[in-house]
Structure 1
């Protein structure tokens, strides 16, 4: 909450120094989140979360409050015209942090809404974009203890470096660029509200895959991991591999860095897509403990390589079966063979994955129970 207020007050100070007086600021409301929904009849619904600054007569100081708006119209433009006409103060979109399309909008198609947001001069191209799963009213009214403003809360989630194996979160300008590549297949993070007896929360969900701006499918956690490696965005995350010494247990490895190089070859009939993946890992945990020696280290490296390779093939085979090029095969192919006449490259593509994993050494303290290290080996529990 404190961080949110600092950000908003900073924006207000900048606004004051360039355009407005204090009196002007109190007549402006700043959006932090926009939710776009559609009714079964086709009418558009827009929800706004806004920050309104005002001067308190009781404390004689500047304060801010969160206000929610809802409006309906035949088109998205009508919705925003209606908002402007019904509000006693100007609504400013320059500080908006996130735009959410509901799952219903994604099924109908986001093209009309996205084009309006890009063309209208009041909107900026920096907000993150996501698909909202579930009821938008329940979502926007959910009390979040970490931040009163859902838009700022989501911005913090999307803007920080990825700590999990998932494709990157896209801002609007990145989504626009992605639409122009290959077969106009895009991937967008989805979010949902989660009511919990201890604390209500908002969480990231499956990744939505859109073709020609319409929802095709969602991909689950294991598929997200494979997609992250295929798209060269697997910078951080965890993987489980079978324990080499205790059957049924697992060893958890943490990815420190990963780089994926892509090559493509065409013989006139089929395409060979080669992904060369180089990954550095460290041992994070081991069920039942583990003693590391050269043989065990090699085993963990081999099993991690196998894990990554299998995940890449899993997600590739899914998209090939759907004939949906979410892995940007068409774009890579066209750059390498610009004159080749291939309509949908992924349908005639075979995947080859070459994975190399390097397990970095222990930091020294490895046996958390005895604080003892055997010479020539590492004992981790």
Structure 2
């Protein structure tokens, strides 16, 4: 029995040794790969494409405690986007992997010239994953090369986490990956919306990133941008999930504001073609709670009613204003074309935004109020 136990123990130790050896070999293989974590694409004065590849380079040693990882940004300038990866590999001693690339950023200058110059390349790269997120970069490339953000040194990882934050995205931007972009460019009016990532120029927060609205891209070219406030109403019109606050006037002092936090949004829409015009009706039913009050306000039934009506009017006015702005440009950024083509296939292909009329039906309900609030 003792001999049997010794044999089993020896076999177990041999198995563990083989497992550890295999793991070390696999780990060592990772040391010989440069991982791209984000890519910024710009255009220079000579019309060249400028790629900034943020990479994570593993520098390993057999000595205990000597392991380290280093962030390196490679700048590649090419006329032909297809040569970018080859040029990058010519600057490293190990293979390049795009399998872990988190974000692709385009400067506004490059976005307005046409994303098709590089986008098909990303779509064809076998290692490029469909879940890679897309953004428009509003800042100096120097801030991308040498970020000052203290939360996370790797810009790609930081932005991927930021855009994964539901509240920040649905309040001030959108979230879109490569696969979604490619699908949308074949649907309706072929308009995509990309979040704008702005780099702060303020002295106290210089270099910090924040979501600052959306850029609108039609058939690969950026045609305009929406600020944070417009993006809120844009998301309401598209039935995107929306969080955050909306401000309206204090009914007892119109120089002061009351902020209401949106808790739930019920959306319904209908299209009706009548006398060659398309009547678009959007119904919004919003449940809110008062989050802050400037000045004094007695929350009587009458005042609550005024707040509800005032907020509904604010939302309606801003939605109609945004809709009219893009209707005048003859660009459908609200997916109306897609719904129209589906409901009226015999009329498909007609640029219906020019003949569309929007009607908003907004109702707001305020929950959880107490008798008196005096926030400031």
Normalised TM-score (structure 1): 0.87
Q: Report whether the alignment pairs 1:169 with 2:175.
A: yes
Query: What is the SS of the residue equivalent to 1:190?
Result: strand
Counterpart of 2:35 (choices 2, 8, 30) is 30
Larger Rg: 2
Partner of 2:244: 237
Say if 1:167 and 1:227, in contact at 8 Å, map to a contact too: no
Residue-by-residue CA offset, 1:200-238 (whole Å, 9 max, x unaligned) = 311222311111111111122332122111011242111
Query: Structure 1 residue runs of 4+, over 4 Å off?
Result: 16-20, 56-59
Distance 1:18 1:270 in 2: 67
| Aligned-residue RMSD, C-alpha | 2.1
Say if 1:132 and 1:192, in contact at 8 Å, map to a contact too: yes
User: Following TM superposition, by how much is the alpha carbon of 1:146 offset from its aligned partner in structure 2, in angstroms?
Assistant: 1.1
Say if 2:147 and 2:153, in contact at 8 Å, map to a contact too: no
User: Following TM superposition, by how much is the alpha carbon of 1:199 offset from its aligned partner in structure 2, in angstroms?
Assistant: 3.6
Partner of 1:178: 184
Q: Report whether the alignment pairs 1:314 with 2:318.
A: no
Q: Report whether the alignment pairs 1:264 with 2:260.
A: no
User: Following TM superposition, by how much is the alpha carbon of 1:56 offset from its aligned partner in structure 2, in angstroms?
Assistant: 4.4
Partner of 1:143: 148
Counterpart of 1:304 (choices 300, 308, 311) is 311
Listed as ranges, the matches of 1:92-107 within 5 Å are: 92-107=97-112
Say if 2:268 and 2:283, in contact at 8 Å, map to a contact too: yes
Say if 1:243 and 1:250, in contact at 8 Å, map to a contact too: yes
Q: Quick one: structure 1 residues 232 and 341, their matched pair in 2 at CA, closer, same or farther if it must change by over 3 Å?
A: closer
User: Structure 1: any 5+ residue segments left out of the alignment?
Assistant: 1-15, 367-376
User: Following TM superposition, by how much is the alpha carbon of 1:104 offset from its aligned partner in structure 2, in angstroms?
Assistant: 1.7
User: Structure 2: any 5+ residue segments left out of the alignment?
Assistant: 1-20
Q: Quick one: structure 1 residues 167 and 232, their matched pair in 2 at CA, closer, same or farther if it must change by over 3 Å?
A: farther
Counterpart of 2:299 (choices 292, 302, 314) is 292
Larger CA deviation: 59-68 vs 181-190: 59-68
User: Following TM superposition, by how much is the alpha carbon of 1:244 offset from its aligned partner in structure 2, in angstroms?
Assistant: 0.9
Distance 2:319 2:187 in 1: 21
Q: Report whether the alignment pairs 1:42 with 2:47.
A: yes
Partner of 1:84: 89
Say if 1:166 and 1:233, in contact at 8 Å, map to a contact too: no
Distance 2:323 2:74 in 1: 42
Say if 1:222 and 1:311, in contact at 8 Å, map to a contact too: no
Distance 1:214 1:276 in 2: 31
Partner of 2:334: 327
